[in-house]
Structure 1
Amino acid sequence: MEDNEDKKEIYFKRVYDNIKNIGYHTTAIMEEENFTPFAYSTGIFENFKIPELFISGLGPNLSGQLIKNYAEKFKFRKVPLNQKLNDLSEMFPVYLIKVNNEDLTEYALSSIKFYEKRNYEYLQLIFPDLNGNFPNETNYDYDQKIIGKFDA
């Protein structure tokens, strides 16, 4: 029977393989009762020289697609912060905001392990609710945990 150490080793081998082969790994934590799902990248900062991406409140497939679009669109370029971006997803506009690594300590465990003492940065992707309202707008209604400072 596998113990937790074996499972961790297998998991981190997959993380490192993905980072080596495609440039990054996406970790997605599923929704549970009283728990908002989230996803984040590991390896984008090292391989594409742009911040890692954290997304709260979306399922793993959509989060994975957004992280992929982000990496492809902005790698080795300047990432626009606090601006409405209409071309990262066909479904809705998004904002990218700065997040302090310390604020993601309980989320981005794979990145913390991967980067160890090396420098890395994170952005959070902010998306609208089903009616197109963003968190800073009246009537916003969605379970999205805002970690960074959103003041677009």
Structure 2
Amino acid sequence: MVGIIGAPYSVIASAAKQSRLSAAETVLIASSQGLLSEVSSLALCLRRTNEQRQFRQRTRFSSPQGEVTLLTHPANPQARVSPMLDSFEWPKPDGKPDEVLFRNVREHGCHLMGIAAEAQAPAYVFSIGLYLNYAHAELVLFGLDPKDACAVINAVRNRAAAGQRYVAGDVCDDLPLERKVCFVEVPLRAYDAYLGTAIWFYAKLPRPFPCLQMVWPDEEGRFPWETGYDASLKAYQPVLRPLS
């Protein structure tokens, strides 16, 4: 994909649709292994890169400790839902992984995509479905163990299902993480580099879906934009919105 960074959302969405991987490409589904109760199966993905920063190829996520499964708790059946849900135009699925994604969005409130770390880019997890189901911004979280990242996003999903909303600038210290997090708006120009499948999913919307990055601080509680922040952590957590 060439020259779409910073392009209008309609152009980015069109490029995302055209760059989707075919069903013939390797896609494996990882299922839960009893780490948490009552969880769904989720597709895992490994970042596909080249000089054009193509969208991500989904495959099995591996680590030195073995395969990692991203887990989503079932949503509250009494959850408040977005009025957008009834009129949403679902994209055409391209094989079983997309069907799993759709099922997770419908039955569990969101689908979680895990992106493996590369030599010069950290691992991250992002949601698909929060905006559709609860009119809440999608979430992206860098640099944590995938299970921890999923637990944090699932916790926000549960609160969104109950009607709570987080917006840019909010700081939260009661999520299942030993540190507080700050919600930071993700600029549209960063979407194509990190949120390819979400762009494809929401391609028919008349306007861009919102997304918030959940930014965590260093051990002293300082965020990346604060004086004295531990600069060594920047390799694990890029802040997608410019700090200056």
TM-score higher than 0.5: yes
Question: For 2:201 and 2:160, how far apart are their aligned partners in 1?
Answer: 22
Alignment size in residue pairs: 150
> Any conservation in 2 of the 1:29–1:60 contact (CA below 8 Å)?
no
Residue 199 of structure 2 aligns with which residue? 112
Asked if the contact 1:98/1:149 (under 8 Å) is kept, the reply is: no
Quick one: distance in 2 between partners of 1:107 and 1:116? 15
Match of 1:39 in 2: 125
Q: Which has the larger helix fraction? A: 1
Q: Can you list the C-alpha shifts for 1:124-143, whole angstroms capped at 9, x where unaligned?
A: 10001244332123142312
Cα deviation for residue 17 of structure 1 reads: 1.1
In the alignment, structure 1 segments of 5+ residues that lack a partner are: none
Residue 226 of structure 2 corresponds to residue 133 of structure 1: no
Q: Which amino acid aligns with 2:140?
A: F
Once residues 168 and 148 of structure 2 are traced to their aligned partners in structure 1, the CA distance between those partners, rounded to angstroms, is 21
Q: Distance in 2 between matches of 1:27 and 1:150?
A: 26
Q: In 2, distance between residues paired with 1:139 and 1:97?
A: 17
| Greater Cα offset, 39-48 or 59-68 | 59-68
Shift, 1:12, TM fit: 1.3
The structure with the larger Rg is 2
In structure 2, relative to structure 1, the CA distance for the partners of 1:6 and 1:84 (3 Å cut) is closer
RMSD: 2.3
Look up the equivalent residue of 1:86 and give its one-letter code.
D
SS at match of 1:92: coil
Greater alpha carbon shift after TM alignment, 130-139 vs 67-76: 130-139
Superposed displacement of residue 97, structure 1: 1.1
Structure 1 residue 65 displacement after superposition: 0.8
| Percent of matched pairs sharing the same residue | 21
